[in-house]
Structure 1
Amino acid sequence: MKYSICMVSDFFYPNSGGVEAHVFQLSQCLLAMGHKVIVVTHSYGSRVGIRYMTSGLKVYYCPYKTFYKGCVLPTMLTTLPLLRNIFIREQVDIVHGHSAFSTLAHEAMLHAGSMGIRTVFTDHSLFGFADTSAIVTNNFLQVSLAQVDHCICVSYTGKENTVLRANVTSHRVSVIPNAVDSAAFTPEPSRRSSDRITVVMVSRLVYRKGADLLAGLIPLACRKHDKVRDVLVQGDIYINCSLTEAFCIAIVEAASCGLQVVSTRVGGVPEVLPPDQIWLTEPTVESLLSGLDAAVAEAGRPSALSAWDRHRRVASMYRWQEVAARTQDVYDIVYLSSGPLSGKFMIAVLFLLRLYSAFLEWFQPREDIELAADWQRGFRSANQPLQH
């Protein structure tokens, strides 16, 4: 069955990050499989309105201003008129929200539920349970996910975390890992030095990525390896200092380029690579230094995997086409099943949204909304009847 899918997140291009890349790559593969896919996000500066990307991917940059860390202000009601218009225009069958941080994703899923549209949510992060931020986010997530048809997590550790903090039953959560465009991340051994080991870290300089651990590690490593001053140029070893990760796409990209990986043993990281392609350490400077020493020693052994061996392994394990196929299976599940509903507060919220939707249906009937032309000729959504 072919679907009209609406991906929604506050995080999308031109912003950069793991969620942004995930939404784009998944959308491209679903388009290639014959589905119709659009993306809804907020405006970025002067980028407002409809834009088209590779393969005719249609992106709605809605005129919403960001409120906190790139997310729009949560209002529940003000986003409904425009999102309803988009859902009707594009004959959307499934709304797929991304990221627990994304206000726009949660509101879109709520509105879709009030309109009888199936919903899927992908959680890309791990959260704690004790700090104020986590408590607020987790309570909000419980409300939002109470009416979502199905959830996707990028690791089994992520699934356990989501089930516990959002009070979601485990059978409503599937694990579908991230992937890598292995054609874009290939080894180039000729650019490596034959007389030194180079250690690379590519990461955002934020607390959860372990930037403070790296600051403590570099001077110690340089005292032990006097040629590491040329670090971060061409790599043999990739180091990841994250304090929390649901998956960590960066280590997959590094392994695809042929690098040996040293990483903190946090979140879903131990699930990502085979043991002979990653040295796992505790999130301390001393443990990272020991792991780096072991990786440097391993790199000098004749038995070490070649860069192309590492690349071929990753290319066979992580493919966006496989992610898209498994995501399509989730769409089949939610489209053919009845959606969940739990919690008195959630019932009250949906009741209000349905009243608002009824008013909008009177104020602007759906038959007065012009349907959007499809980029893919011959596409027919699951909700669109056959023409005789």
Structure 2
Amino acid sequence: MTARKLRILQVMRAPVGGLFRHVADLTRALSAHGHAVGLVVDSLASDAQTESRLTELAPHASLGIHRFAMPRLLGSGDLVTPLAIRRLALKLGIDILHGHGAKGGFYARLARLGNSKAVAIYTPHGGVLHFDKASLSGRIFHGLERWLMGQTGAIIFESQYAQATYAALIAPPTCPTMVIYNGLSLDEFVPVHPDADAADFVFIGELRKLKGVHVLIEALPALRRADGHPATLVMAGAGGSRDALLAQIARLGLTDRVSLIGAQPARPSLARGRIAVVPSLAESLPYIVLEAAAAQLPVIATRVGGIPEIFGPTAASLVPANDVQALHEAMQMALDRPDTAQAEMRARLEYMVERFALAGMAGEIEALYRRLAVQR
């Protein structure tokens, strides 16, 4: 007997970063399997890059792309939007409400109230796990998490780290949970060849303190290549710390050694450097580490979040977060011992291929959807 096709609504705040990458990949895979998928996104966040991404995804979202106000901080939209999403879900006959990130998970589960037809699933993507439980925002969002547990059909964690942190920080979940790693397509495991004028190091990500960009710049001044020339860095990304970063670069006399190229797609940006650096202070399971490792670049990263789960047998090379000296030493070693860096890259690649595949990720999530839809 042919399995029934599901009607699925993916709920997220802003279509940027790894969270959007995950939702976009999942939407395409579900659509290819015949399911009807719709997206709910933030009407308050709109720029050329956002609109371009949504336009590319629209053919795979047969239930449409719907925009509602989703303020970053708590606001009036947090009262109105869940009701609007519930009305939308009822109108579209939704089986699965899948919320991504703190706000997406909040809205999807509130929208499930009074809608016994739909099952609400939640993937934190870091989000609420990064709130300090002593802060007002942390207390509010962690309290909401506990309150909404009864509306949660399942929680999907993208790393074992996220699963353990949620239980310790908020509460052990009373609903089913699964760890399903983010996955890459087969063509992303094809090597990227650095440009002829590639910098020694490349950073790709948001320009904000949480990503450790200030630590990276502090680690750069004394770095030297084997030929004695100063090491260079390309940074692809945008964010609120850009001006502070430019001031730091100028203060350290690095203007000629650091290039800020703005927000760019990850894979072409990886060709702008020979070694990828991910100096984050906190993460869940960052796509950029997966993408850089799959593209067969050496990767220097911090021991935070689920990154050790990606590094597997090479996790001993991870450096402490927010440690300028440790990051400097790891970067200098990669310059001094390229053969060692390449050997580590190959060991990491072999470990990743079987564990971080897009087909496996989408298949596990689809199977969970089906189990929960049958049980309701």
| TM-score tier (shorter) | 0.7 to 0.9
Of the three residues 202, 205, 218, the one matched with 1:203 is 205
Aligned partner of residue 146 in structure 1, secondary structure? helix
Partner of 1:291: 330
Higher fraction of helix: 2
The root-mean-square deviation of aligned C-alpha atoms, in Å, is 3.1
**Residue 27 to residue 99, structure 1, CA distance change in 2 (3 Å):** same
Aligned partner of residue 18 in structure 1, secondary structure? helix
**Residue 303 to residue 236, structure 1, CA distance change in 2 (3 Å):** closer
Kindly provide the amino acid, as one letter, of the partner of residue 273 in structure 1: F
Query: How is 1:340-355 mapped onto 2 (pairs within 5 angstroms)?
Result: none
TM-score in terms of structure 2 length: 0.76
Deviations 1:125-180 (CA, angstroms, capped at 9, x unpaired): 03343344322321122222332110011100100111233324376211011122
Distance 2:56 2:195 in 1: 36
Query: How is 1:219-258 mapped onto 2 (pairs within 5 angstroms)?
Result: 219-222=221-224, 226-232=228-234, 234-258=272-296
**Residue 237 to residue 78, structure 1, CA distance change in 2 (3 Å):** closer
Partner of 2:182: 178
2:100 matches 1:61: no
Distance 1:119 1:67 in 2: 21
Distance 2:308 2:166 in 1: 18
- Decide whether the 8 Å contact of 1:281 with 1:287 is kept in 2: yes
Unaligned 5+ segments in structure 1 are 339-388
Partner of 1:92: 94
Deviations 1:237-258 (CA, angstroms, capped at 9, x unpaired): 2111101111111111111111
- Decide whether the 8 Å contact of 2:225 with 2:335 is kept in 1: no
Deviations 1:260-299 (CA, angstroms, capped at 9, x unpaired): 1111111111111233488201120111122223333441
Distance 2:283 2:227 in 1: 28
Give how far 1:223 is off: 8.9
Query: How is 1:97-116 mapped onto 2 (pairs within 5 angstroms)?
Result: 97-100=99-102, 102=103, 104-116=104-116
**Residue 221 to residue 328, structure 1, CA distance change in 2 (3 Å):** same
Deviations 1:44-97 (CA, angstroms, capped at 9, x unpaired): 4497xx9783543244332x334336x8744435642x3244223322111000
Aligned partner of residue 318 in structure 2, secondary structure? strand
Distance 1:273 1:76 in 2: 41
Kindly provide the amino acid, as one letter, of the partner of residue 95 in structure 1: L
- Decide whether the 8 Å contact of 1:154 with 1:178 is kept in 2: yes
Of the three residues 10, 13, 19, the one matched with 1:10 is 13
Give how far 1:220 is off: 2.9
2:79 matches 1:76: yes
Aligned partner of residue 76 in structure 1, secondary structure? helix
- Decide whether the 8 Å contact of 1:7 with 1:38 is kept in 2: yes
Aligned residue-pair number: 325
Of the three residues 156, 161, 164, the one matched with 2:165 is 161
- Percent of aligned positions that are identical: 22
- Decide whether the 8 Å contact of 2:194 with 2:274 is kept in 1: no
Aligned partner of residue 169 in structure 1, secondary structure? coil
Distance 2:340 2:19 in 1: 37
Partner of 1:188: 192
Kindly provide the amino acid, as one letter, of the partner of residue 140 in structure 1: L
Relative contact order: is structure 1 or structure 2 higher (C-alpha 8 Å, sep ≥ 6)? 1
TM-score in terms of structure 1 length: 0.73
Kindly provide the amino acid, as one letter, of the partner of residue 208 in structure 1: L
Kindly provide the amino acid, as one letter, of the partner of residue 10 in structure 1: R
Aligned partner of residue 65 in structure 2, secondary structure? strand
Deviations 1:304-327 (CA, angstroms, capped at 9, x unpaired): 3677x8667644432222111111
Kindly provide the amino acid, as one letter, of the partner of residue 267 in structure 1: G
Partner of 1:25: 25
Of the three residues 294, 302, 309, the one matched with 1:271 is 309
2:330 matches 1:325: no
**Residue 306 to residue 241, structure 1, CA distance change in 2 (3 Å):** closer
Distance 2:196 2:313 in 1: 24
- Decide whether the 8 Å contact of 1:192 with 1:236 is kept in 2: no
